């Protein structure tokens, strides 16, 4: 179960960290606020999930230890969330993919047989439902806005699509957790996620890119080159000045 919670926690931690890079640099003031606010919600989810992971680990580690003292190989997030922000179309498409995923995930996990996980999911579901409303609206605006916005969104889709498969990777360990009613079934998640995303894509002129390549490895700690650099930045103070109180 520790690996599963770590995967959920790291997805939110790394996505929140990426979104925080927009702080002060949004395309206009309201959107700057929305990006920061989304980052704040998602990092709040990361904190709750890391607390739960630390509790399960049971060796005295804290959520901060897990966030700031693990190396890249210890991180179990999908590679999608560590992709650079790119332009606003990249950031919002990644966000839309993750929002659709999180809404379905937390809906199922609200009924998890693990009480702590169910509580976190229930609280988080309210937030991600609102995030999805916003990212859906942006997908409409960008997909039906100007030629430039459509081109930029298509570019983002070409780059990011191959990273989405990793959200639904199966494993024996995960199968066991699904059977115990703790985790969400990745096959079920994939069906619902694809139905939503493809329904939206069908209403646009966007096309899903064709290539055989699919990102994989994040769940085993094998990431893109970007994660190591993100951790250098995020973990700097804890690494340079160990054992301090902040």
Asked if 236 interacts with another protein (CB under 8 A), we say yes
C-alpha distances in Å from residue 26, one per residue of 19, 21, 68, 82, 87: 10, 10, 27, 19, 10
Q: Which stretch binds another protein (CB under 8 A): 100-108, 171-179, 190-198, 232-240?
A: 232-240
Whether the CB-CB separation of 34 and 134 falls below 8 Å is answered with yes
Of residues 137-176, those binding another protein (CB under 8 A): 140-142, 144-146, 148-149, 152
Asked if 60 interacts with another protein (CB under 8 A), we say no
Task: Name the burial class of residue 202, with classes exposed (0-12), middle (13-18) and buried (19+) by CB atoms within 10 angstroms of its CB.
Answer: exposed
Residue 83 half-sphere exposure, CB side, CA atoms within 13 Å? 24
Task: By CB under 8 A, name the one of 71, 73, 74, 87 that touches another protein.
Answer: 87
Q: Least Å distance between CB 144 and another protein?
A: 5
Q: How many beta carbons lie within 10 A of that of residue 109, not counting itself?
A: 22
How far is residue 163's CA from residue 64's CA, in Å, rounded to a whole number? 27
Asked if 185 interacts with another protein (CB under 8 A), we say no
Q: Which stretch binds another protein (CB under 8 A): 60-68, 160-168, 177-185, 207-215?
A: 60-68
Whether the CB-CB separation of 114 and 182 falls below 8 Å is answered with yes
Asked if 61 interacts with another protein (CB under 8 A), we say no
Q: Which residue has the tokens 């049971």?
A: 58
How far is residue 16's CA from residue 45's CA, in Å, rounded to a whole number? 9
Q: Which stretch binds another protein (CB under 8 A): 71-79, 118-126, 136-144, 207-215?
A: 136-144
Task: By CB under 8 A, name the one of 1, 2, 3, 21 that touches another protein.
Answer: 21
Q: Kindly list the residues in this chain that would bind another protein in the complex (CB under 8 A).
A: 17, 20-21, 23-33, 36-37, 39-40, 43-44, 46-47, 50, 63-64, 67-68, 87-88, 140-142, 144-146, 148-149, 152, 233-234, 236-238, 241, 244-246
């Amino acid at each position: 179960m520790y690996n599963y919670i770590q995967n959920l926690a790291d997805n939110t931690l790394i996505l929140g960290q990426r979104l925080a890079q927009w702080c002060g640099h949004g395309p206009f003031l309201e959107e700057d606020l929305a990006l920061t606010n989304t980052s704040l919600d998602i990092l709040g989810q990361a904190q709750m999930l890391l607390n739960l992971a630390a509790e399960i680990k049971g060796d005295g580690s804290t959520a901060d230890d897990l966030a700031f003292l693990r190396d890249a190989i210890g991180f179990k997030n999908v590679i999608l969330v560590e992709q650079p922000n790119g332009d606003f179309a990249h950031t919002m498409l990644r966000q839309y993919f993750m929002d659709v995923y999180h809404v379905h995930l937390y809906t199922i996990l609200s009924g998890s047989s693990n009480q702590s996980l169910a509580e976190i999911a229930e609280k988080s579901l309210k937030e991600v439902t609102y995030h999805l409303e916003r990212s859906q609206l942006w997908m409409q605006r960008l997909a039906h806005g100007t030629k430039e916005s459509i081109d930029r969104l298509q570019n983002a889709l070409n780059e990011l699509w191959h990273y989405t498969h990793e959200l639904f990777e199966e494993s024996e360990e995960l199968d066991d957790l699904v059977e115990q009613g703790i985790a969400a079934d990745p096959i079920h998640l994939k069906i619902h996620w694809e139905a939503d995303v493809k329904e939206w894509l069908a209403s646009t002129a966007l096309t899903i890119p064709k290539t055989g390549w699919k990102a994989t490895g994040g769940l085993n700690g094998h990431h893109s080159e970007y994660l190591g650099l993100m951790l250098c930045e995020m973990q700097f103070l804890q690494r340079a000045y160990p054992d301090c109180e902040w």
